[in-house]
Structure 1
Amino acid sequence: MPPFNTAIVKGYNALTGGRVKLGKWDEYMSMRAGVLAINTAFRDLLSNDLGAVAGMLFDIGTGRFPAPPLPGEDTADARSVWHAELARARDNIKVDKAQAAADQQDVTHTQVQGWLRDLGLALGFDVWIASNDRGRPYGDGRLADGCLAVLPPPIAGGPASDAIRLIDVLWLESNGCVTAAFEVEHSTSIYSGIVRMLDLALSGEPGAIRGLYLVAPDSREEEVRAQLRRPAFSRVSDLHVRYLPYGELDSNREAIARFGRGLHPIEQLARNLN
């Protein structure tokens, strides 16, 4: 059996007007000669190893891109229609890529929240997950599994409760006091997360919350520091908000869960932002 690929064959036929069929060596050799001719004619746009032309034929065969008008049908109107279809296809690909990037961002954000959830529970804290993230799939269940269903009354009844509910992860003592707050900042501005933590910190007794943490990729540290130098964040230095890199959290979370106690291990990993 010759090495045919159904999508590539369909793409080749659409591009050339051929009628190549699967499963015959003479058909395969004919298509191979045609592909080599296309690659030679457009070598400046394609690659020497046939990877680019094969990818193009595959994309045409799967309907990702439309084939240009065939010889004899290549009128001005037909080419105009093809250009319009090609533009739509390119726009759709941009949307698909943007959605894929957004999905990956959500997965990463949720994953880090899950790390913090599991770590907080292992260290004996009650854990709160942001109200808008509670139902996200995580592992074999939901992100809020095993966590508080409602905030303690002093927080839930306070003036900043709506903002505090949206903090990504809270660790609380059994008496309902917040020990640590974590905002996961994968790629977006830190502004909203900082504001929520300020609301939390300023809603209770000064110094009552031991840890306020921005959790972000290792590569964002300098960017976060630059944002915190803005005048709008002048109060942040008073609250000792600290930076917890993904890498440190990921590398140490299992050991902390097994051998750690209280907030001390997280304090050792986090970096001062002052």
Structure 2
Amino acid sequence: MAMLHDDQLETWKSLQDEWFSSDIFQKQYDSLKRERQLAVKQMNILLKNYFSGAISNADFRMTFQHKTNKEWRSFGLGGFAGAMVLNMFVKNIPNQDELAYQLKMVLPVPSDVHKGYQQLSSFMDYLNKLIDSNAVQKQNIQPGLVPSFVSGWWHIQDTENWPIYYTSSRQALISEGLYTPSSQPVGDYFDFREIFLLMTKKLGLSLWEMEQLCVWHKQRGVSITPAVEPVEASSSDIGTTGDSFSTTNEEEREHTYIQWLLAEIGQKFGYKVWIATNDRSSTWKGKQLGQYSLNSLPEFPGIGPKSKQMIELIDVVWLKGLKIMAAFEIESTTSIYSGLLRMSDLAIALDNFIFPLYIAAPAVRTNQVKAQLSRLTFQRLELHERCRFFTFEALISAAEPMMLFGSDVSAIDKIAQQVDGVNQEGF
């Protein structure tokens, strides 16, 4: 039974008053709410079509991945605990008919807690049997992410009884001593749900309001954004391949995945790939990033040793012969400002070498990227004209068609954005 002491409740009430007193945040929440109300209707139609057999696993996956990065982005299900989970299932589980049967058993909203526990446990048992029989590798389906994925669909069908298992919500409750996860993903979700619903009732909030209050708890003065889920694996998912990380390394895992994806895309385009030396021991799908990388950079005509050292520190570089085709900085955990400083140094040092520069960041950091590229320091260096940015979610969504139909770096420009020049009047 979840417990909420008076002093804990008072802390949250005070936080609630602080949040409610901000007109800006309330307007942002109202906008988010309107977007979600429309998304709920559309997502339920998709689910109904899937349950009826009108669409296949592949169609379900493709629509979900595409929509969660656009029209349904307000729920933050386009990342590693949402669309990517479904991607892994559809791409890696051999028997797709059995997968469809299992998904149609677990995704309908439960009538009560007991039924929900049964549904989620049965689906986890199904995945674990696949792993035990060597039908699929554990790192290719990530069972620890299932509660987040499934709870997202339960929530869509019943928005006031089934909270989404967001990282931001869990972290807020953990930090206040209200929730302690274990290594049992199913039980952990239902423990989380119990205290989350109790908090919602005591504070007189809707689930969406409670969720955003948890975001406010974490951000305190930073713009409210949808709770996009980073990659995450529970301690029970840590294998021996080096391909799984604990939840304390979520951002590092996300960084590794994007590096791997850019390496894969670059090689598909026929480019040679450079991976920053200090990242080469990181692994994804059992392969070290170093396996994708050149052992050393070529001797570029006109590029001195110091400039070459700058290039060596870039997260991912695509090359063709002695020509740099693109350079990518991935900013999941580090300061956006520090990444742009590296890019500006490179742009200045290699002023006569024109090649695309890109910043890749989670969607929740988009405003930070725009704000930094709009700084007068970078504007006067015209970095905003040379350096574009794209979100992790956009790259993940576009990666497959890029590798099927793309041929060069111009494919990245289709998902990249550019900051306009800033009017300096008034500075």
Q: Quote the Cα distance in structure 2 between the aligned partners of 1:207 and 1:154.
A: 10
Query: Please, what TM-score do these two structures have when normalized by structure 2?
Result: 0.40
Task: Tell me which of 255, 279, 284 is aligned to 1:133.
Answer: 279
In structure 1, what is the equivalent of residue 404 of structure 2?
Answer: 258
SS in 2 for 1:103: helix
**Residues 1-274 of structure 1: matches in 2 within 5 Å?**
45=5, 102-154=248-300, 157-174=304-321, 176-206=322-352, 208-209=354-355, 211-234=356-379, 235-237=381-383, 239-274=385-420
SS in 2 for 1:271: coil
Whether the 8 Å contact between 1:108 and 1:186 is mirrored in structure 2 is yes
**C-alpha distance after superposition, 1:41-83 (max 9, x if no partner):** x96649xx9xxxxx88x9xxxxxxxxxxxxxxxxxxxxxxxxx
Q: Distance in 1 between matches of 2:3 and 2:362?
A: 41
The 2-side partners of 1:255 and 1:113 are apart by: 18
Change (3 A) 1:240 1:157: closer
Between the aligned partners of 2:390 and 2:265, the Cα distance in structure 1 is: 14
- 3-state secondary structure, aligned to 2:293: coil
Question: C-alpha offsets along residues 152-189 of structure 1, whole Å, 9 cap, x if unaligned?
Answer: 11288432222221110001112x21110100011321
Task: Report which of the two structures shows the higher radius of gyration computed on alpha carbons.
Answer: 1
AA matched with 1:253: A
Q: Check whether the contact 1:167–1:193 (CA below 8 A) recurs between aligned residues.
A: no
- 2:325 aligned partner, one-letter code: T
Q: Which amino acid aligns with 1:221?
A: T
Distance 2:305 2:266 in 1: 24
State percent identity of aligned pairs: 33
Structure with the bigger percentage of helix: 2
Gap runs ≥5 in structure 1:
1-38, 50-54, 59-98
TM-score of the superposed pair, with normalisation by structure 1: 0.60
SS at match of 1:159: helix
**Aligned in 2, Cα 1:192/1:236: closer, same or farther, shift over 3 Å?**
farther
Inter-CA distance 43–269: structure 2 relative to 1 (3 Å threshold):
closer
Query: Quick one: distance in 2 between partners of 1:216 and 1:186?
Result: 6
CA distance change for structure 1 residues 140 and 231 in 2, over 3 Å: closer, same or farther? Answer: same
RMSD: 3.0
**Residues in 2 aligned to 1:262 and 1:43: alpha-carbon distance in whole angstroms:** 56
Q: Write 1 or 2 for the structure with the bigger share of strand.
A: 1
Report the number of matched residues. 186
Cα distance in 2 for partners of 1:169, 1:238 equals 20
- Provide Cα deviations, 1:66-101, integer angstroms capped at 9, x if missing partner: xxxxxxxxxxxxxxxxxxxxxxxxxxxxxxxxx955
- What one-letter code is carried by the residue in structure 2 that aligns with 1:161? K
- Cα distance in structure 1, aligned partners of 2:249 and 2:280: 17
3-state SS of the aligned residue for 2:335? Answer: coil
Q: Does the 8 Å contact 1:215/1:245 carry over to 2?
A: yes
Amino acid of the structure 1 residue aligned with 2:319? L
